[in-house]
Amino acid sequence: MRIVSTWSFGLRANESAWPHVAAGRALDAVEAACAYADAAPDIDSVGFGGLPDASGRVSLDGCVMLSPGQCGSVAGLRTHLHPVTVARRVMERTPHVMLVGADADAFADREGLVQAELLSDEARAAYEKWRREGGVVDQSRDGPSRTLGFDPLRPVDRRHGDDGRLFGGATTPPPLPADEARWRHHDTIGCLALDARGTLAGGCSTSGTPFKVPGRVGDSPIIGHGLYVDPEVGAATATGTGELIMGLCGAFLVVESMRRGATPAEAVREAVTRMARTYTLQAHHQAAFLALGRDGTFAAAALRPGYRTSVRDADGARAVEPDFVALADPVG
Ligand code: SD4
């Protein structure tokens, strides 16, 4: 019985989902964890608080998966806050896997899901600053980062946690470690759960990359790229520069390695090693894979230092270092 999520902010998301894991409701657990991250304004590449695209509008992507025959996905939501919830409705109430754009929002409306404002004041201010500083959308394959109006590598004193329960009762949670804070715009939540009944589920939610070209969709909502779950084998999710993950069918690659006998640690290591040798990497590129085996063993591997996995199981909550980091130099 265990729930694992990408990045340290996943501690809070895991905690909100833990009762579902313990009650044998893995699907509810991953939906709850992702919904928690969606609603937290300080998690700024997911949900409310997510940075907008180059037109100043936020768009959200997400997916959910139990098995190859039970998965759902949405991309480009602009008026609904919880993509995993909408994706679950697609999975459960339509014969389809994926809906996109305005029609996905319209589907959510028909499902009775409440509309929400997605752009926070802070995200609007960040967008306006980007525009003021001459933000240009780079249409190159690796996204808009070369011409961002901010330094994606600047250290940010971002605080995480909001109820103190996870942090020894302190009302103010500790700041993120500096190496992780450097990747604050990479805080997509990918979440994998193995519940008390032995059911595996995964969910993934993101607002994508900051100031992306409108219409851009990354790996996160694409089954097999940002998330893959096979109940016979295990589950994997990804976070980071989607364009690097998509070229490898990242999450599927990890689960298929496990199917062929690799441990989760071997599978994620192989995937980031392949990423490092496949692409011409830029300083802003970061990505990580997180895998959870059928037996509950988990592992993560990252391209660069600064990624952590949040874990909640019978031993409590903790953020752990990845098992493998491909590149020693954090900015090389
Ligand atoms: C994307 N993979 O849209 C997402 C972004 C992300 O951590 O994971 N950030 O490319």
* DSSP secondary structure of 266-310: HHHHHHHHHHHHHS---TT--EEEEEEETTS-EEEEESSTT--EE
Domain ranges of the chain: 2-325
Coil, helix or strand at residue 84: helix
Atom of ligand 1 nearest to the CA of 6: 7
Alpha-carbon distances of 110 from 34, 114, 196, rounded to whole Å:
22, 10, 33
Distance CA 205, CA 46 (A): 6
Half-sphere exposure of 233 (CA within 13 A, CB side): 23
**Residue to mutate, 44, 45, 184, ligand 1, most ligand atoms under 8 Å from C-beta:** 45
Model confidence pLDDT, tens digit, residues 76-135: 999 999 999 999 999 999 999 999 999 999 999 999 999 999 999 999 999 999 999 877
pLDDT at 309: 96
Model confidence pLDDT, tens digit, residues 281-309: 988 899 999 999 999 999 999 999 999 99
Please identify, in words, the CATH class of the domain defined by 2-325.
alpha beta
**Residue to mutate, 61, 142, 186, ligand 1, most ligand atoms under 8 Å from C-beta:** 186
Please tell me the distance between residue 220's alpha carbon and the centre of ligand 1 in angstroms. 6
pTM across the whole model: 0.88
CB 83 within 8 A of CB 109: no
Alpha-carbon distances of 215 from 75, 101, 235, rounded to whole Å:
9, 8, 28
pLDDT at 146: 34
263 in catalytic set? no
Q: How many CB atoms lie within 10 A of CB 111?
A: 16
b/e map 122-153, b = 16+ CB within 10 Å: ebeebbeebeeeebebbeeebbbbeebbbebe
